[in-house]
Amino acid sequence: MSGPLPDTPADPVEDYLDRLLVTLSGSPRQVRHTLAEVEAHLHDAVAEGVAAGLPESQAQAQAVARMGPVHEVTGRGPALARPSLALGRRLALTAALVGSAGFLAVGAAGLVARVLLAAKGSAFLTAPWPSGSYTRADCTHWLAGDPGAHSCVTAMLADHAGDFLLQAAAAGLLGLIGLAAYLALRERWQDRATLTALPAGTAEALGTVLAALAALAFLGQAADTEMVQHGIGAGEPWSLGAAAAVAAVVFAVALWRVLRRSAVA
Amino acid sequence: MRSERLKGHLDLLLMSVLSRGPGHGYQVITRLRDRSDGAFELPEGTVYPALHRLEESGLLASAWDVVSGRRRRIYRLTAAGEAALAEQSKQWREFSGSVGRVLGTPAAKPALRPAITGLTA
C-alpha cells in the first residue's frame, strides 16, 4: 500500500500550470487543450534554457517569466483571474438556482391551488376580509368581475382566488426564466475557480434549508387555519406548503447525490 | 517594443508567421522573435488567446500531432486566413507609408552658427 507522496521541491512550471488550471474558463475540452499547449510550450522553453547552459531551476523560472502572468494565457485580463470574481460567479449561480426554484415552487403551488379551487371552492382557497374592512365600491368592483356571484363576499373570494392563481402563474414563469438563465450561466462559467469557489452542494444545502423552513411555516399556517377558521382560507397555505415541501425533498435528494459523488471522488 | 503596442498588430503578425508554414505555439513565438531580430518581445502566453481567437474566426485551423515526443497543437493558415493576411498586409503598408510620409525623413541639422563671430579666425 502506497503512502502519501513525499514533498517535492518547488517547481515553477508545475505551479504555473496549477494556477492556470484554476483560472481557465470554457468547456472541459478547451481547458484540457489549452493546458496541454502551455505545458508543452513551457517544457520547450525549459529545454531551450538548459541547452543554453542554464541550471534546470533557473531555466524553469525563466520559462515561466517569459510566459507572463496567467491572465495573458486566459486572455481575459487580470481582474477575471481574481478569486473574488469566481466567488461572485458562484454566488450568482447559487442565487439563480435557489431563487428560480423558489419561484417555480410558487408556480407549482398555483397548480395545486387550482385543483383545490375546483374541488373545494374559493372559500377554502382564500379567506374573506373581515366585514367593515372593505367598502361598497370594493363590492361593486368584485361583483362587476363576477356578475353571477350571489353576494359581495362570494365575488370577493372569487377575485382573491383569481389574483392568487395569476400571481402564482407569473411566479412560475419567472422561475422558468430564472432557471434558463441559471443553466446558461452554468454552461458559460465552467472554469475550475468558479466551480470550487464554494463547497460542493452549497446551493443544494441552502435550497433544502430554505424550502424546508418555508414548508414548515406554510403547513403550520394551514393547520392553524384549519383549526381556528374551520378550513376557510387554508387552501393557499396548504398549496404553498406542499410545493415548498416537494422543493425541499428535491433539493435534499440533489444534496445527497452531490455529497455521495464528492465522497466517491 | 512595448508589448501593448505590439498586441494591436498581433493577429497580423501571427498570420504572417504561419504563412511560412504550420507550427505550434512555441514555434510561432520563436519565429516571431527571430524574424523581428528580438525586437518583438511580449509575454509568450499572449499568443494562445490570439491563436484561439483566429481559429474561432476561421482564419486558422489546428490539429493535434506528436512532435519530439510531445503532443502539440499545430496551427496552419486557412484560405480565409490567407485572404485576410493579404488584405491586412495591404492596409498596414498603406498606413505605415502614410505615417512615414507625414513624419518625413529626418531633416539635416542646420550648420551651427558661431555664437560670437568675432571668435572665428
pLDDT at A98 over 80: yes
Q: Which long-range contacts (CB under 8 A, 24 or more apart) does B48-54 make?
A: B48/A34, B48/A37, B48/A38, B48/A73, B48/A75, B49/A72, B49/A73, B49/A74, B49/A75, B50/A75, B50/B10, B50/B11, B50/B14, B51/B14, B51/B25, B51/B75, B52/A34, B52/A75, B53/A75, B53/B11, B54/B11, B54/B14, B54/B15, B54/B81
- Rounded Cα gap, residues B45 and A19, in angstroms: 13
Q: Which residues in chain A touch residue B72, judged by CB atoms under 8 angstroms apart?
A: 37, 40
B-chain residues within 8 Å CB-CB of A41?
A: 24-26, 29, 44
Q: Which of B12, B7, B9 is nearest to B77 (CA)?
A: B12
Radius of gyration of chain A (CA): 29
Chain B CB contacts of A38 below 8 Å: 25, 45, 48
- Beta strand spans in B20-106 (E): 60-67, 70-77
CA-nearest of A225, A231, A215, A229 to A109 is A215
> Does residue A97 surpass a pLDDT of 50?
yes
Q: What band does A250 get if pLDDT is binned at 50, 70 and 90?
A: very high
Q: Is residue A55 predicted with pLDDT exceeding 60? A: yes
Three-state DSSP at B43 gives coil
Answer whether A73 touches B (CB < 8 Å). Answer: yes
Beta strand spans in B38-82 (E): 60-67, 70-77
Domain ranges of chain B: 3-89
What's the mean per-residue pLDDT of chain A?
86
How high is the pLDDT of residue A92?
Answer: 92
CB-based contacts of B17: which residues, under 8 Å, 6+ apart?
A: B23, B28, B31, B32, B35
Name which residue leads in pLDDT, A194 or B90: B90
Q: Do A40 and B26 touch (CB under 8 A)?
A: yes
pLDDT tens track, chain B, 121 positions: 555 666 668 899 999 999 999 999 999 999 998 888 888 878 899 999 999 999 999 999 999 998 888 889 999 999 999 999 999 999 999 988 888 888 876 654 554 444 444 433 3
- What confidence tier does A67 reach under pLDDT thresholds 50, 70, 90? very high
What is the pLDDT, as a whole number, of residue B4? Answer: 60
The pLDDT of residue A125 is 79
At residue B107, the pLDDT reads 54
Average pLDDT over residues A1-19: 68
Q: How many CB pairs under 8 A join A and B?
A: 56
Q: How much is the pLDDT for A62? A: 93
Assigned architecture for domain B3-89: Orthogonal Bundle (1.10)
- pLDDT value for A136: 82
Instruction: Name the 3-class secondary structure at A72.
Output: helix
Q: Which of A15-29, A133-147, A185-199, B100-114 has the lowest mean pLDDT?
A: B100-114
Over the stretch A215-226, which tens digit does the pLDDT of each residue have?
Answer: 999 999 999 988
Q: Calculate what percentage of chain A has a pLDDT beyond 90.
A: 46
The structure's pTM equals 0.50
pLDDT in tens, A168-190: 999 999 999 999 999 999 888 87
Higher pLDDT, A12 or B7: A12
**Range with top average pLDDT, A3-12, A68-77, A78-87, A164-173:** A164-173
- Nearest CA to CA, how far is B32 from chain A (Å)? 14
B64 DSSP 8-state letter = E
Q: Which residues pair with B61 in a beta bridge?
A: B76
Please indicate whether residue A213 or residue A153 has the higher confidence score (pLDDT).
Answer: A213
